[in-house]
Amino acid sequence: MTILIKGGLVYDGSGNEPVKEDVLIRGERILKRGNFPKNRGDSVVDATGAMVVPGFIDVNSPADHYLDIFKDDFGRNSSKDGVTTVIGGNCGASLLPATDRLFLPLRKWAGVSESGANWHGFDDFFRRLDKKLNVNFGTLVGHSTIRRALLGDETRDLTENELRLAKKMLADAFGKGILGFSTGLEFIHTKLTPVHEIEELAELASEKKRVYATHLRSYGPRLGTAVEEAIGIARKTGVNLEISHFMPRVEEARNYFVLKDKIEEESAKLRINFDCNFSPYIPTPMYRFLPEWLQNENLEAMLGYLSAEHLEERILGHLRRVGAGNIRIGEMPSHLSFLTGKSLRDYAISNKLRPAKALLKLMKISKLRGVLSRQAADDDLEDFVFSSASLIASGEARNEKPFLGFLKLADKTKKISMEKAVAKLTALPAEKYGLKWRGKIREDYYADIAVIGDFTVRNAFVNGALLVNDGVFQSTRSGKFLKHEK
């Protein structure tokens, strides 16, 4: 089966200027580029007046945290944003390695059910996804997933033997082609993790040329210390570092700019990037809005504190200081999904409650399983997304077309050329994550391609199969589980 994408302006992902030419696909791969007036192919896609680009790579998707990757329509929203590959396992939580405590780190997102966890190792997981993915999926291994497998709800340091086991679990994952590992150092069960533990895992990742992605220990007043820690680990181990969700918060905007400059300076010497989800809101697990003194043990223990009458006024005092004006309700458990997208202020008004009491009620009825978002410093976001060190990711904004939004902003502001903008979404993340034969439109590369006209996806191909046809999603099951390749 051959498909000819005809008459488009081809941005090949290299950062070079675009060329008006045709792209010929045979099977899963790109056969040729050029002008083929006599070659009609078995099927022809008219790309006149459109950009033809490599499929975008989403380096920080929560699709696995919500078990979206197992849904029949997985890829519907992302493919219409030009995305053909998503990378999960971020923020310390992943679906591998499979253990009887696998879902403990995932519960804070939206109360995922353990009923879907019927795989029993890497190979079984790969078989479960075979011929069921609409877009490509790759994953990191979560540090918290490994730690919780060893310690359950304990938050102590690992013993020497446990650290050896953690390193073996990570080494086994790398042996199966996993793309790297991630930490969620702001969260309860890993926030006290000693630096030397992360360094030992990062040394292994560096040796195997894998990525270390970190959700920092703090995105607030202690942000500077958290960034310095991450950079220090990269400097000491040489690991390929990605700092997750690095977007300026309204109350800390100045500090973020100083640290952005620091990251850019270090990225000239080390392999360091940060990702932005190109949204005016920054997602945070709900329990992180509680007072620090209450954030311990597990969700069940924290819910117990919320129900304690003698603590209610103290908790409300803290929630009043949080400020509800810039909070939006994100992903919630299924029975509360109708609240997703609403502002906390509107929720409070509809319940005839003060914002702090409304937030406390929401915490109780959701059992702390969900995500709330705070407003980013929207006016400053451009400087971050166009940074030489930035990567674009969906994060919790995966339904908002962040990738097309980025291209539209690049076109509007002219802060970077369109060819450089495309490279930032394609070849740059492919190279960082070791995704060989992806991220560019070149002969023998996999045919992950998007045809974009007026910043709308007309067509999208995943491994040569037409997933979006004239703007209409059609499930193809042509996605692959991607592994690191040298």
Measured between its terminal Cα atoms, the distance across the chain in Å is: 29
Q: In which residue ranges of the chain is CATH 2.30.40.10 found?
A: 2-53+438-473
461 or 401, which is more confident: 461
Q: What is the pLDDT of residues 82-117, one digit of tens each?
A: 999 999 999 999 999 988 788 777 776 655 554 456
Instruction: Provide the token pair at 232.
Output: 């220090």
CATH number of 2-53+438-473: 2.30.40.10
Lowest mean pLDDT among 20-29, 166-175, 280-289, 387-396: 280-289
Write down the residue that tokens 């675009």 correspond to: 18
Q: At 396, give phi and psi (nearest 5°).
A: -75, 0
Beta strands in 200-350 (DSSP E): 211-215, 240-243, 272-276, 281-285, 327-329
Give the pLDDT band (50/70/90) at residue 393: very high
Q: What is the pLDDT of residues 32-42, one digit of tens each?
A: 999 988 777 79
Q: Report how far apart, in Å, the C-alpha atoms of 384 and of each of 284, 397, 433, 456 are.
A: 19, 16, 21, 24
- pLDDT at position 258: 96
Percent of the chain with pLDDT strictly greater than 70: 96
Give SS3 for 30: strand
Instruction: Provide the token pair at 220.
Output: 């607030």
CA dihedral (192, 205, 433, 79) positive or negative = negative
Q: What is the pLDDT of residues 447-461, one digit of tens each?
A: 999 999 999 999 999
Distance (Å, whole) CA 329 – CA 342: 6
CATH number of 56-283+377-432: 3.20.20.140
- pLDDT at position 115: 47
Distance (Å, whole) CA 372 – CA 330: 5
Closest CA relative to residue 28, chosen from 53, 61, 57, 3: 3
Give SS3 for 169: helix
Res 270 pLDDT > 70: yes
* Mean pLDDT of all residues in 361-388: 87
Q: Are 275 and 58 in contact (CB under 8 A)?
A: no
Q: Are 88 and 139 in contact (CB under 8 A)?
A: yes
Distance (Å, whole) CA 435 – CA 46: 29
* Mean pLDDT of all residues in 378-407: 87
Q: In which residue ranges of the chain is CATH 3.20.20.140 found?
A: 56-283+377-432
Q: What is the pTM of this model?
A: 0.91
CA angle 368, 149, 434 (to 5 degrees): 95
